[in-house]
């Protein structure tokens, strides 16, 4: 059985992993009868975006904590990733806000 590492970069189209793409990626891996583990960097986001108006918010959010929303808590810090334990690696896209 193939094992895939998935690296997320937060949660949200403007300041993290695009949620639909991340979820569909996990579903596709599952449908192929492969397994996956999810990882994310344990650092603060560069910026946090208000998804209602597209403006930068004056607050801090951690990428690992935000990514855990998509992973439903089943996530590990990127520093724990050993690429030798996986057959593939996927990074769902991130849209960097240009506001």
* Chain segment 49-99, per-residue pLDDT in tens: 888 898 998 999 999 999 999 999 999 999 999 999 999 999 987 655 444
The confidence score (pLDDT) of residue 98 equals: 47
The confidence score (pLDDT) of residue 14 equals: 76
pTM: 0.88
Chain mean position to CA 75: 9
> Average of pLDDT values for 8-17?
86
Q: What is the largest CA-CA distance in the chain?
A: 45
């Amino acid at each position: 059985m193939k094992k895939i590492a998935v690296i997320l970069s937060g949660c949200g189209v403007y300041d993290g992993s695009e949620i639909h793409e991340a979820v569909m990626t996990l579903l596709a891996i599952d449908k192929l009868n492969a397994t996956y583990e999810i990882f994310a960097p344990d650092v603060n986001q560069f910026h946090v975006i208000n998804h209602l108006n597209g403006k930068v918010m004056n607050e801090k959010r951690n990428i690992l904590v935000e990514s855990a929303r998509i992973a439903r808590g089943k996530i590990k810090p990127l520093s724990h990733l050993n690429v030798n334990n996986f057959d593939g690696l996927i990074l769902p896209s991130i849209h960097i806000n240009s506001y």
